Structure 1
Amino acid sequence: MAATASGQPSPEVGLPIVPNRPSYAASLGYPKAQIKPLPLKPISYLHGEPQVIWEQEEVNQIIINENLEYAVIEKFSYGWPDIQELRKLITK
């Protein structure tokens, strides 16, 4: 074993480096879901209002892709309510 002037072994001596080996933390984590790109959906109109229709499988894939497991989505048909009202509604 060769040593440098500081008494440390030379850089080429030591454990072999294993390429593409997952870390211990990565091996304990959840498996990554496959991200599939979703095509743009056409906009249709119902009574003059634009709408986009999604299939349930597409919605599930969007949730996975965007990490929206705990997202809250609300629809405001007649304008935005006050932020304080929103906070009260979301907790319900």
Structure 2
Amino acid sequence: MNFSKYKKSIIACVLALGIGVGGGYYFFGNPVTHQTTVKEQTKQTKPITDTRNTYVVQAAKESGPAVVGITTQVFQKDIFNRTIYAGEGVGSGVLIDNDG
């Protein structure tokens, strides 16, 4: 390889590196900051109505502090109004006192 081809290769590599660094700075170097305001909310406790006083709520009141497992299933209606299974979720929670 003669010196001219070697020189052109070096210049091409340096140019590609410069374009890569410059493009990276252009797209990622200037982070946009947004100022947000957070308002504190006061906790409002509402009495449990008969529609919300399910067997799960009653069991939680009687059991006291506990670790609970939660499994949910989601069903949807298709265009023919048939119920189809859409998915499920699994999680856990902790009951500490009556306030939740």
TM interval, shorter chain, is under 0.3
More helix by share: 2
Which gives a bigger RCO, structure 1 or 2 (Cα 8 Å, sep 6+)? 2
More strand by share: 2
TM norm structure 1? 0.24
Larger-gyration structure (1/2): 2
